[in-house]
Chains A and B, each alone.
Chain A
Amino acid sequence: MSDFERQSYDVVVVGAGGAGLRAAIAAHEAGAKTAVVCKSLLGKAHTVMAEGGIAAAMGNVYSDDNWKVHFRDTMRGGKLLNHWRMAELHAKEAPERVWELEQWGALFDRTPEGLISQRDFGGHRYARLAHVGDRTGLEMIRTLQQRTVELGVDVFMECTVTRLLKDGDRVSGAFGYWRESGRFVVFEAPSIVLATGGIGKSWKVTSNSWEYTGDGLALALRAGASLINMEFVQFHPTGMVWPPSVRGILVTESVRGDGGVLRNSDGQRFMYNYIPEFFKAETSDSEAEGDRWYTDKTNNRRPAELLPRDEVARAINNEIKEGRGTPHGGVFLDIASRRSPEFIQKRLPSMYHQFKELADVDITKEPMEIGPTCHYVMGGVEVDPDSAQSKVTGLYAAGEVAGGMHGANRLGGNSLGDLLVFGKRAGEYAAEYAKRLGGDRPQVAEPDIQTASSVALSPFASDGGENPYTVHQALQEVMQDLVGIIRNEAELTSAIEKVGELEERISRVTVEGHRQYNPGWHLAIDLHNMLLVSESVAKAALARKESRGGHTRDDYPMTDYDFWGKLNLIVELGDDGHATIRQQPLPEPPPELAALLEEQH
Chain B
Amino acid sequence: MRIWRGDSSGGGLVDFTVPVEDGEVVLDAVHHVQALRAGDLSVRWNCKAGKCGSCSAEINGKPRLMCMSRLSEYPKDEPLTITPMRAFPVIRDLVTDVSFNYVKAAQVPSFSPTAEQPQAPFRMQQVDVERSQEFRKCIECFLCQNTCHVIRDHEDNKEAFSGPRFFIRYAELEMHPNDGLDRRRLVQEERGLGMCNITKCCTEVCPEHIKITDNGIIPMKERVVDVKYDPVRFFSRRRGPKKA
Contact = CB atoms under 8 A, between A and B. Distances in A.
B78 interface: no
A103 to B, nearest CB: 4
A138 B41 CA distance: 28
Contacts of B49: 49, 246, 249-250, 354, 358
B48 A249 contact: yes
B121 A99 contact: yes
Given A49-B49, A114-B124, A245-B28, A511 B40 contact: yes
B110 A518 contact: no
B42 A467 contact: no
Interface in B13-61: 21-25, 28, 34-36, 38-54
Interface in A73-131: 99-100, 102-105, 107-110, 112-117
A330 to B, nearest CB: 14
B176 A107 contact: yes
B136 A210 contact: no
Interface residues of B, number: 61
A102 B122 contact: yes
B31 to A, nearest CB: 8
- Interface SS, B side: loop
Given A41-B98, A516-B92, A518-B40, A115 B121 contact: yes
A242 B23 contact: yes
A519 B94 CA distance: 12
Contacts of B53: 44
Interface in B107-155: 108, 110-111, 113, 119-126, 129, 132-133, 136-140
A11 to B, nearest CB: 21
Contacts of B91: 180, 516-517
A361 B121 CA distance: 39
Contacts of B113: 103
A42 interface: yes
B124 to A, nearest CB: 6
Contacts of B47: 44, 46, 48-49, 209
Given A243-B22, A246-B23, A519-B43, A48 B35 contact: no
Contact of B176 (A105, A115, A469): A105
Interface of A: 40-46, 48-49, 58, 99-100, 102-105, 107-110, 112-117, 132-133, 135, 138-139, 142, 146-147, 149-150, 157, 180, 209-211, 242-246, 249-250, 350, 353-354, 357-359, 467-470, 473, 511-514, 516-521
Interface of B: 7, 21-25, 28, 34-36, 38-54, 68, 70, 91-93, 95, 98, 102, 105-106, 108, 110-111, 113, 119-126, 129, 132-133, 136-140, 173, 176, 179, 209
